[in-house]
Copies of this chain bind each other. A is one copy, B any other.
Amino acid sequence: MTDEDFMRLALNEARAAFEEGEIPVGAVVVNKGRVIARAHNQTEALHDVTAHAEMLAITSAANLLGGKYLTDCTLYVTVEPCTMCAGALGWAQVARVVYGACDPKRGYTCYAPHALHPKASTTSGILEKECTTLMQEFFRLRR
Known contacts A47-B63, A91-B49; A115 and B83 CB within 8 A of each other: yes
Count of chain copies: 2
Residues of B within 8 A of A84 (CB): 83-88, 90-91, 115
Q: Is the CB of A68 within 8 A of B92?
A: no
- Give Cα distance in the complex from A60 to B9, angstroms: 31
Interface size class of A (residues with CB under 8 A): 20 to 34
Interface residues as binary, A38-77 with B (CB distance below 8 Å gives 1, 0 otherwise): 0000011001111000010011001100111100000000
User: In whole angstroms, what is the CA distance A83 to B83 when docked?
Assistant: 7
In the bound complex, do residue A50 and residue B43 qualify as a contact, i.e. CB atoms below 8 Å apart?
no
Verify A68–B88 contact, CB threshold 8 A.
Answer: no
